[in-house]
Amino acid sequence: MRRGRSELSGARPSLGPMTAILHTEPAPRAAEESAPAENAAEATAPRRPSLSPSRAADFKTCPLLYRFRTIDRLPERKSLAAVRGTLVHSVLEKLYDLPAAGRTVAAAQELIEPAWAELRDEPGIAELFEVAQDDGAETDPNAPESVEAWLASAGKLVEKYFALEDPTRIEPDGREQLVEVTLPDGLLLRGFVDRVDVAPTGAIRVVDYKTGSMPREAFEAKALFQMKFYALVLWRTRGVVAAQLKLIYLGDGDTLTYAPDEAELVRFERTLQAIWAAIERAVATGDFRPNKTRLCGWCDHQAVCPAFGGTPPPFPAEAAAAAGWQTLLPVVERD
């Protein structure tokens, strides 16, 4: 594992120049950090239960949160930080549509406005810029100061990217690429990868952009969970263990890189299978228990969470069956 400010200031990465060689499947980017691209994956998912990095992390954090997001599909509020992450991801994806020589800071900044124009009309986004009058602030959702300042903050993140990588020297194999595989036990793994680079030697680099700051070393394993998930799927589908997993933290201009090995991916696969077995048991019994942690402060579902005195809605058996869980649903005796 390596933590470093900028690869441009040191030796050139050992992966060499990356070239595009395989067909990719582009997809819309979901909100950053919370969940990332996997929400987009689920929007187009087959009606069959599957596991994504975000949903696996949800279940590990709080089984009830997994139920609310995956089975009940309860609505959640958007946040300015999450939407900014979506915007920045969109800009960095479109940056690589340009010829290599044209991938400049100025060109990237020019991509922000059209990307925002595509995003601004989505449900729940306009409301983020509304402030109640009794707060003593601007109530116009199009208030230029607030929106412009927010767009400027996104522009700073985009500019910071150029201090961490030189996009003129990279030709991605895939951007916002769907990766999926069905394991021998039937577990379907799927998700969207920000970027996959492939060297002429066949070496693979998996890249993920984060608009926040690098976590402390004690939390690195949690940060790498998502990347190991992608590495496992790519190994199972391409037969190649990724040479490098790279997290780019635009918030503080830092990077985290890691090189997994085959034995580690085998162990990680067992971990995912264990998580899935626990999910199946929870579906079969209807028992999704809350897990109260500091993260609860950011949860939208406290009103229906027993840990906060709430009552969850009845288990949505019909929705679960429609999602492919019918063979595991609890049997309800009727008079």
Instruction: Kindly report the three-state secondary structure assignment for every residue of 209-257.
Output: EECCCCCCHHHHHHHHHHHHHHHHHHHHHHCCCCCEEEEEECCCCEEEE
CB 197 within 8 A of CB 207: yes
Its domain, for residue 205, covers 2-34+77-260
In angstroms, what CA-CA distances link 199 with 40, 90, 162, 265?
Answer: 28, 24, 21, 21
- Whether 14 maps to a domain, the answer reads yes
pLDDT of residue 124: 86
Total domains in the fold of the chain? 1
Closest CA to 70 of 52, 48, 53, 55: 55
At residue 278, the pLDDT reads 96
Is there a domain that residue 127 lies in?
yes
| Residue 112 included in any domain | yes
The upper half-sphere exposure of residue 97, i.e. CA atoms within 13 Å in the direction of its Cβ, equals 10
Mean pLDDT by 10 residues, the chain (335 residues): 48 37 36 43 59 96 96 91 95 98 98 96 84 43 66 96 97 96 94 96 97 86 92 97 97 96 97 96 92 92 95 89 69 44
| Residue 189, SS3 per DSSP | strand
Answer whether residue 136 is part of any domain.
Answer: yes
324: in domain: no
Nearest-Å Rg of the Cα atoms of the chain is 21
- Say if 256 falls within a structural domain: yes
* CATH, residue 175: 3.90.320
Domain assignment of residue 249, yes or no: yes
Residue 54 belongs to some domain of the structure: no
